[in-house]
Amino acid sequence: MAIPPKAPNAPKSPMPLSLPKRQRPQPQPSQPPQHPPTAPQVAPRPAVPRAGTLSIRAKPAPERAQKFFAPCPRGLEQVLADELVALGAAHVSATDGGVGFSGPFTMGYRVCLWSRIASRVLWQLAESEYRHEEEIYRLARNVDWPHLFSARETIRVQVDAMRSPVTSLEFVTLRVKDAIVDRFRAAMASRPSVNTSMPDMRIHVFLTAYKATVYLDLAGEALFKRGYRREGLSAPLRENLAAGMLALKGWTGQMPLFDPMCGSGTILTEAAMIAMHVAPGAQRGFAFEKLRNYDAAAFRQMRDGAAQGVTPLAAHLLFGNDRSADAVATTRRHLQNIGGDATATAVTLTSEAMETLPAPAASGLLLTNPPYGERLNELAELKAWYPAVGAWLKRTMAGWRACFITADRGLPGGIGFKPSRRTPLFNGALDCRLFEFELYAGSRRTDRADTDGAATPKIRA
Ligand SMILES: C[S@@+](CC[C@H](N)C(=O)[O-])C[C@H]1O[C@@H](n2cnc3c(N)ncnc32)[C@H](O)[C@@H]1O
């Protein structure tokens, strides 16, 4: 995975990176995890300004290490943990649905700009044990919100819970919003208003059976919204899922990559950004830019450093195809959006039925997202089509590793191959599998010639 060099003097993670046991049930795919009990993270501040104070001076970003949590699509926690370590984060700890880490406050900027896999970066503001809703209100009321952002910013509170005894998450959401508003009212005449669709500040609260944690989302819009997708065909993959699959398969831009059903080109565009060292957040803004403590000079330096590290895309590295010419045109535009014409023309794009194509190189990684067949008639079409896919893989793609992400568990049986790996992954709410097949022209006893005389690739079990 293309990752910028570590921050100077970045501490090494002293924590093991292994995933803890799954903690189920957990109702939402991106919930913050449990953390060990700690004191609230906002540095103690002097007395709150009296009611009626109209201006609040920004305080510098806290100097001591801060705690963060980065949610990600389920199944990508370990590759996100690896990415965070490479970015210089400390205390990196993967759990169900995301990864906790710590670092200086600007580590939050860095992860927002550079993480290809995180969905958000949540900055931990406060945490404590609780028994009832009013203790959660007090925890949120203790955060010095007016020193974090102005009353002009709109807010949205989201509460997620795992085995929490509270009876209504809506009521907790309301009480946390009240806490923020009350804290503003105690400091000044104005208060932020609520905007649930496009808020400036997103406040996340995560409740376990006994502990409440309050976070501020530094990213704002989800990090998979990179800014290059200005249009979309139906059923695109989430950008961070595409990047995460490339990381899971160890693709770093060294070997040919082929997406024969590329749709709007999410896998190819993410791969191009990895190969060119383009920061995934280079084209977008972040919520932290609206914080009072925003260090514009530090972030400009990060952005400038990222822009200077971009390299051109090599030819004969990325290959895409879709039988829909519209899809190929969209892929081309997405590639142009990240690197102009030079990037788009460096990618070999065709518009054919996949099963008629020759292999674009002697070996490499085929990574694709076939139609899922969610509707019954589509499923029947898929089942009828799979044997042709299997025959094409055998006939044409020996020497390649082929990976398919699909919600259809019947794909391996349909194409007639046994997967060497199957990784559970979520594409949004869809419970998918990433099936991997290793295809190599074998010479073992069980080989037989296909009717066209080609050797049958072996499938490693
Ligand atoms: C689920 S979409 C891929 C979405 C893509 N990953 C994205 O992020 O936009 C599946 C794509 O497979 C294409 N497709 C279906 N059958 C095909 C075939 N036999 N040959 C080539 N493309 C095909 C469809 O046109 C569609 O664009």
Helix (H/G/I), strand (E/B), else coil: 458: strand
Helix (H/G/I), strand (E/B), else coil: 402: strand
Predicted local distance difference test score (pLDDT) of residue 116: 98
What number is the average pLDDT over the span 31-41? 39
Q: Which residue has the higher pLDDT, 12 or 353?
A: 353
Q: How far apart are CA 31 and CA 400, in angstroms?
A: 36
Q: What is the DSSP letter of 440?
A: E
What number is the average pLDDT over the span 209-237? 91
Helix (H/G/I), strand (E/B), else coil: 346: helix
For residue 25, say if its preceding peptide bond is cis, omega within 30 degrees of 0: yes
Centre of ligand 1 from the C-alpha of residue 185, in Å: 53
What number is the average pLDDT over the span 356-365? 97
Q: Ligand 1, closest atom to CA 389?
A: 19
Centre of ligand 1 from the C-alpha of residue 324, in Å: 8
Predicted local distance difference test score (pLDDT) of residue 372: 82
**DSSP of 173-233:** HHHHHHHHHHHHHHH-S--PPB-SSS-SEEEEEEE-SSEEEEEEESSSS-TT--S--SS--
Centre of ligand 1 from the C-alpha of residue 331, in Å: 11
What number is the average pLDDT over the span 403-420? 95
Q: Are 306 and 113 in contact (CB under 8 A)?
A: yes
Interval 230-258: pLDDT, tens: 776 667 899 999 999 999 999 999 999 99
Predicted local distance difference test score (pLDDT) of residue 230: 77
Q: Ligand 1, closest atom to CA 372?
A: 1
Enter the tokens of residue 337: 């959006």
| pTM, two decimal places | 0.86
Interval 251-282: pLDDT, tens: 999 999 999 999 999 999 999 999 999 999 99
Residues in the chain, total: 461
The neighbour count for residue 268, using CB atoms within 10 Å, is: 25
Centre of ligand 1 from the C-alpha of residue 405, in Å: 12
Q: Which residue has the higher pLDDT, 232 or 131?
A: 131
Q: Ligand 1, closest atom to CA 232?
A: 9
Q: How far is CA 235 from the centre of its chain?
A: 17
Ligand 1: lining residues by beta carbon, under 6 Å: 233, 235-237, 260-261, 263-264, 266-267, 321-324, 327, 353-355, 369-371
Please, which residues have CB within 8 angstroms of residue 216's CB and are 6 or more apart in sequence? 122, 123, 125, 148, 201, 202, 203, 204, 287
Taking CA atoms only, the protein residue closest to ligand 1 atom 13 is: 261
Which of 229, 231, 234, 261 gets mutated to test ligand 1 (max ligand atoms within 8 A of its CB)? 261
Answer whether residue 47 shows pLDDT above 50: no
Q: How far apart are CA 52 and CA 185, in angstroms?
A: 8
- Mean pLDDT, the chain, whole residue set: 86
Predicted local distance difference test score (pLDDT) of residue 233: 65
Q: How far is CA 213 from the centre of its chain?
A: 22
Predicted local distance difference test score (pLDDT) of residue 1: 42
Interval 429-452: pLDDT, tens: 899 999 999 997 753 333 333 333
